[in-house]
Structure 1
Amino acid sequence: MAVITFGQKEDAKQYIKRPAVYCLMFNKQKDRIAIIKTGDGKYFLPGGGIENNETHEGCIKREALEEMGMEIELGHFIGCAQRYFFSTNEYKCYLSEGYFYLCEMGKQVSEPTVWVEPIRAVENLFHEHQIWAVHEALKLI
């Protein structure tokens, strides 16, 4: 599996590898995509770090409930991409290794999900590898 890499690795720095699973989920009309807006105004795809021995499916289902209040079904695997970056919140260097999946909406069990046009997601997402995944998902729908 070829992995696309974003960001620049600086030789003098130690990077913490952080595998994560992300959801690309479109509404029924396929004209909006689910995103998460953090308290500091940054935009991300729903998903996050794999905990302990979680499977990809277990991770994304847990994250979807936590972030969107929604049960989801894991769909087509889009691909893997990674990004070198410095976290200004944690003051650490990370290699975010993202696994991206198309997902289907399930039952909404709490707070509603934020939906935006894919172009707005591309313009606002914080991580380049998440922008890449949106472009790849658009090819599949």
Structure 2
Amino acid sequence: MDIITFGEKQEGNEYIWRPAVYCLMFNNQKDRIAIIQTSDGKYFLPGGGIENNETHEDCLKRESLEEMGMDIKIGEFIGCARRYFYSTNEYKHYLSEGYFYLCEEGRQISKPIEEDHFLKWIEPIQAIENLFHEHQSWAVTEVLKQI
């Protein structure tokens, strides 16, 4: 399987492979998409790194609870894309391998656990232009072709 890759692998740097799962969740009118804004102003799709032997579903359920306090319904697989990047928070080089799923909003279970993560509903074009990771912007573009 050919996986689209963003960013460039720079010689001499050791990259940490980080598989992650993200949800693409739209409101009922399909004119707004859920994003997570962190306290430093960056935009991300809801989701994150797979821990231990989690399945994609387990990871998405855990991450949506942590970031949004919400249960979600996981739907269609959209695709996989990678991004080479340097984390200025952790001072490490990563190869993020993102798996993207179309999801539906579920019920609110609790307040988000991650206090520096804020759920925002924005126009998809705004998400494409402002998401921190290029492979996440790619996933929004891909899902817009399908809905």
Flag whether TM exceeds 0.5 (same fold).
yes
AA at the equivalent of 2:10: E
Runs of 4+ in 1 over 4 A off after TM superposition: none
Deviation at 1:114, TM superposition (A): 1.5
SS in 2 for 1:54: coil
Equivalent residue for 1:83?
Answer: 83
Q: Does 1:119 align with 2:99?
A: no
Q: Percent identity?
A: 74
Equivalent residue for 2:114?
Answer: none
Equivalent residue for 2:44?
Answer: 44
So what's the TM-score if we normalise by structure 1?
A: 0.97
- What is the aligned counterpart of 1:129 among 110, 115, 135? 135
Structure 2 Cα separation of the partners of residues 31 and 68 of structure 1? 20
Kindly report which structure 2 residues correspond to 1:51-90, keeping only aligned pairs within 5 A, or say none. Answer: 51-90=51-90
Structure 2 Cα separation of the partners of residues 2 and 136 of structure 1? 16
Structure 2 Cα separation of the partners of residues 106 and 126 of structure 1? 25
Deviations 1:47-106 (A, max 9, x none): 000000000000001100111111001100000000000000000000000000000111
Deviation at 1:2, TM superposition (A): 1.9
Equivalent residue for 1:18?
Answer: 18
Native 8 Å contact 2:127 2:137 kept in 1: yes
AA at the equivalent of 1:123: E
Equivalent residue for 2:115?
Answer: none
AA at the equivalent of 2:143: A
Native 8 Å contact 1:69 1:113 kept in 2: no
Equivalent residue for 1:96?
Answer: 96
> Gaps (5+ residues) in structure 2?
112-117
> Gaps (5+ residues) in structure 1?
none
Deviation at 1:19, TM superposition (A): 0.2
- What is the aligned counterpart of 1:139 among 137, 140, 145? 145
Report the aligned-residue RMSD: 1.1
Change in CA separation of 1:40 and 1:113 when aligned onto 2, cut-off 3 Å: closer
AA at the equivalent of 2:137: I
